[in-house]
Amino acid sequence: MRIGVVGARAAGAYAAQLMAQQGHEVFLFDHSAGREKPCGGGVTAKALRRMPWFHVQPLPRTVIEKVRLVTHDGYAADLPLPHPIHVFSRPSLDKHLLQWAVDSGVQFLPERVLNLHHDGMGWSIETHSGEKGVDYLVGADGVNSIVRAKMIGHFPACDLSLAIGYHLSGLFDPRMLLIHFQESGFRGYLWSFPRVNHSTVGILQSLAGTKVADLKQRVENLIDARYPNSDSQRTFYAARIPCLSRKSLARQRVCGDNWALLGDAAGFNDAITAEGIYYALRSAELLSESLRRRDPRSYETAWREDFGAELQSAAAWRDRFYGGMVLSRTFIRRALQTVRYSEIVRRLLDNLIAGNISYNSLFRRLAFQSPLIIRQGFRNKSQISKA
């Protein structure tokens, strides 16, 4: 089968390589392959565990061993990560996957896709240099996907978040991810973490009602307070990130008889953490497996059974996480208190991030062990106060 993949980042290049290994003739289109991705690069233990090729190649990375969580009023708690987050250089990771695809027989065309035409049998992919006919079309071209727009329409604003920030020359806070939550009801957070050869500071908020000037000021305030010597070394970036509601995830369709969407184009991001690389790569595996079985529509069932419930759980908890109240305090403040004083909670959250437990399993375990967590919290708080 002739397959056209639009988008040669992680999801597209990986899917192209897997499909080429199955014997398909694969064409991979991307005019911007190899460019730095504005934010992200974090790969959690569940991806490293499922995809051992991450360890085979000496891909540049930094290793995050701790998350520092801070509320709007300055209350802080540290979360150690026995299962670290690996932050990869996106150009290096994407280049590796693209070369892997080419070595597997994929034909890479560094061209912008201008239009798509369906003739009743297959697809015609139009670029500046002409048209290429394929039997099956894959959209791995991100949040502004031309394939998604053609098949099911663009994302509505309510299903998007805006990320803006700065790249800073230098590695600040090595091995630590800093998360600054904002006021109650602010659906997002400020962050800072080291990448391979620079640091990034940014902010994420639901797109609807967002004021860019306000977000930019919040980022600059954090930089001025924490990294005052980086004034002349800032590079601005902005990106939209899919952050679908539970209802949108439940009702959306990401494939048909002769087309499919992957990664960001399919809206596969955790609504709370914004993790996306794992879901991009995993969706590529699930699609290639459905094609191997000659049952392309089974991809829809496969992603829902594999990680769909987890994405829906995150979406369902998002509003409560950012705006809920517990005993006259915000949900986030109470959550950070348990992180600060309970080893049980810290262990459970590390396992959640590592993919060893689900959101639903986390909340069940928290409820079951709540008496012990409370006793542990009071004991540790008392010990810290005496010290």
Which tokens is 283 given?
A: 């969706």
Query: What is the pLDDT at residue 373?
Result: 86
Q: What are phi and psi of 347, to 5 degrees?
A: -65, -40
Query: What is the pLDDT at residue 183?
Result: 93
**Exposure string (b/e) for 192-217, b if CB count within 10 Å is 16 or more?**
bbbbbebbbbbbbbbbeebeeeebbe
* HEC profile of 114-175: CEEEECCCCEEEEECCEEEEECEEEECCCCCCHHHHHHCCCCCHHHEEEEEEEEEECCCCCC
> Residue 140's CB: how many other CB atoms inside 10 A?
32
Q: What is the DSSP letter of 186?
A: -
> What's the rounded Cα separation, in Å, for the pair 257 and 121?
10
Residue 182's region, left for phi above 0, alpha for psi from -120 to 50, else beta, is beta
Instruction: Name the residue with tokens 């977000």.
Output: 215
Cα angle 296, 297, 300; round to 5: 115
Rg of the chain taking only CA atoms, in angstroms: 22
Instruction: Name the residue with tokens 């990560």.
Output: 81
> What's the rounded Cα separation, in Å, for the pair 33 and 293?
30
Start-end of H helices in the chain: 10-21, 45-50, 53-56, 90-103, 146-151, 212-226, 246-251, 277-292, 298-303, 309-323, 331-341, 343-353, 359-368, 370-386
> What's the rounded Cα separation, in Å, for the pair 139 and 4?
9
Helix (H, G, I), strand (E, B) or coil at 93: helix
Using CB atoms within 10 A of its CB, is residue 91 exposed (0-12), middle (13-18) or buried (19+)?
Answer: middle
Q: What is the pTM of this model?
A: 0.94
Query: What is the pLDDT at residue 387?
Result: 41
- Contact between 129 and 107 under an 8 Å Cβ cutoff? The reply is no
pLDDT tens, N- to C-terminus, the chain (387 residues): 999 999 999 999 999 999 999 999 999 999 988 777 766 789 999 999 999 999 887 899 999 999 999 999 999 999 999 999 999 999 999 999 999 999 999 999 999 999 999 988 899 999 999 999 999 999 999 999 999 999 999 999 999 999 999 999 888 999 999 999 999 889 999 999 999 989 999 999 999 889 999 999 999 999 999 998 886 778 999 999 999 999 999 999 999 999 999 999 999 999 998 899 999 999 999 999 999 999 999 999 999 999 999 999 999 999 888 988 888 889 999 999 999 999 999 999 999 999 999 999 999 999 999 888 888 766 766 655 544
> What's the rounded Cα separation, in Å, for the pair 337 and 73?
13
Nearest alpha carbon to residue 73 among 173, 180, 176, 179: 180
